[in-house]
């Protein structure tokens, strides 16, 4: 039986050399994300913005989007976002938060049910008032910050300080680029997105830790090996595993994107992107960082050729 090998057995690829491309690239992308975040901003869902979301299903199997939009606009609840999805008459309506405080939100649902109830089935109705959305923003933000801090402590406890810093830089990089994905694709950013980001934090570290575990082991074995060589060796020896895991994870996420249904699709797409970014950053961001941080205080790493400002 011939078995598949994705990554050649005894590769000696010089990954570290590519940092002259990867660092500027990531720095540019991160900067671009920050700029876009403040200019274009995220497409916040009702979890964080408040408002009302409805998913309707036309009983006749065909949704009359234009008519729906016109009628909904006529309610006087502000600007309505109407989107058609699927081919079987699925429509989503998003109403902005109403000025009259919490109680005013209910009127929106009542009105829509009374108006569209005959021709459409209401498959999902979600209303989030201003107070709850504020709390969700808070807990979402706290969660992401807390996870980074908690993980930093764990790494500090398990690894050398330089390795911990390298891993955290990579993770922050992945968070920023994930946010960038949301900004550019206009994917709705809600509580599920926070779950996706935290999962990506987990996966990102998973990738980095596997490489760094090997780095640590090799450091003990080859006491005099220069940092660059050490890192190249770590990545090359763990590369076959990295490719395997990225592939299996991507395969299962692909199944989710294609078959998981509309509600999961967004989450799965973000995660799929996350797997690619995390794999890239573990190799091309976290590891080369160690060259700049100075993994070995006993040994002065040779200054890299070309002036490359470290990202972040």
Which of 165, 194, 233, 283: binder of another protein (CB under 8 A)? 194
Residue 249 in the binding site for another protein (CB under 8 A): yes
Q: Does 137 bind another protein (CB under 8 A)?
A: no
Is 213 a binding residue for another protein by CB under 8 A? The answer is yes
Count the residues of the shown chain that bind another protein, applying the rule CB under 8 A: 79
Q: Which two tokens stand for residue 1?
A: 């039986």
Instruction: Give the residue with the Cβ less far from another protein, 37 or 254.
Output: 254
CB of 290 to another protein, least distance (A): 17
Out of 51, 89, 129, 180, name the contact with another protein by CB under 8 A: 129
Which residue, 84, 80, 100, is CA-closest to 92?
84
Cβ neighbourhood burial of 221 (10 Å; 0-12, 13-18, 19+): exposed
CB of 16 to another protein, least distance (A): 21
Query: In terms of Cα–Cα distance, which of 13, 5, 7 is closest to 234?
Result: 13
CA 37/CA 251 separation, integer angstroms:
30
Please answer whether residues 151 and 171 qualify as being in contact, where contact means their C-beta atoms are separated by less than 8 angstroms. yes
Residue choice 32, 75, 237, 308 for contact with another protein (CB under 8 A): 237
Nearer to another protein, 31 or 251 (CB): 251
Q: Which is nearer to another protein, 9 or 79 (CB)?
A: 9
Q: Which is nearest to 42 in space by CA: 191, 181, 206, 165? A: 181
Of 131, 161, 221, 302, the residue at the interface with another protein (CB under 8 A) is 131
Residue 82 · residue 69 · CB < 8 Å:
yes
d(CA 249, CA 253): 6
Please check whether residue 93 is in contact with residue 115, taking contact to mean a CB–CB distance below 8 angstroms: no
Contact status, residue 150 vs residue 88, Cβ threshold 8 Å: no
Which 69-128 residues touch another protein, going by CB under 8 A? 101-103, 105-106, 109-110, 113, 121-128
The contact pattern for another protein, residues 258-297, with x = CB under 8 A and - = no contact, is xxxx-xx--xx--x--------------------------
43 binds another protein (CB under 8 A): no
120, 101 contact by CB (below 8 A):
no
Say whether residue 209 binds another protein (CB under 8 A): yes
What is the closest distance, in whole angstroms, from the C-beta atom of residue 271 to another protein in the complex?
7
């Amino acid at each position: 039986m011939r078995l598949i090998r994705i990554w050649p057995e005894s590769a000696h690829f010089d990954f570290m050399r590519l940092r002259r491309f990867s660092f500027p690239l990531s720095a540019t992308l991160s900067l671009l994300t920050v700029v876009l975040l403040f200019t274009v901003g995220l497409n916040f869902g009702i979890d964080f913005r408040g408002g009302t979301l409805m998913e309707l299903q036309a009983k006749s199997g065909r949704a009359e989007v234009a008519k729906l939009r016109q009628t909904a606009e006529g309610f006087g609840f502000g600007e309505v976002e109407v989107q058609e999805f699927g081919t079987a008459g699925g429509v989503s309506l998003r109403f902005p938060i109403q000025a009259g405080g919490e109680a005013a939100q209910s009127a929106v649902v009542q009105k829509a049910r009374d108006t569209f109830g005959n021709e459409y089935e209401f498959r999902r109705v979600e209303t989030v008032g201003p107070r709850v959305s504020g709390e969700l923003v808070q807990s979402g933000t706290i969660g992401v910050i807390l996870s980074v801090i908690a993980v930093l402590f764990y790494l500090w406890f398990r690894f050398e300080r330089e390795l911990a810093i390298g891993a955290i830089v990579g993770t922050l990089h992945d968070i920023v680029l994930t946010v960038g994905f949301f900004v550019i694709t206009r994917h709705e950013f809600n509580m599920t997105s926070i779950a996706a980001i935290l999962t990506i934090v987990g996966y990102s570290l998973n990738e980095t830790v596997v490489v760094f575990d090997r780095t640590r082991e090799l450091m003990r074995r080859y006491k005099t090996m220069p940092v660059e060589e050490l890192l190249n060796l770590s990545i090359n020896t763990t590369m076959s595993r990295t490719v395997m895991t990225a592939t299996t994870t991507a395969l299962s996420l692909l199944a989710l994107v294609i078959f998981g249904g509309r509600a999961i699709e967004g989450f799965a797409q973000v995660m799929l992107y996350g797997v690619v970014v995390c794999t890239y950053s573990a190799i091309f961001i976290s590891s080369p960082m160690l060259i700049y941080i100075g993994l070995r205080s006993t040994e002065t790493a040779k200054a890299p050729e070309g002036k490359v400002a470290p990202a972040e």
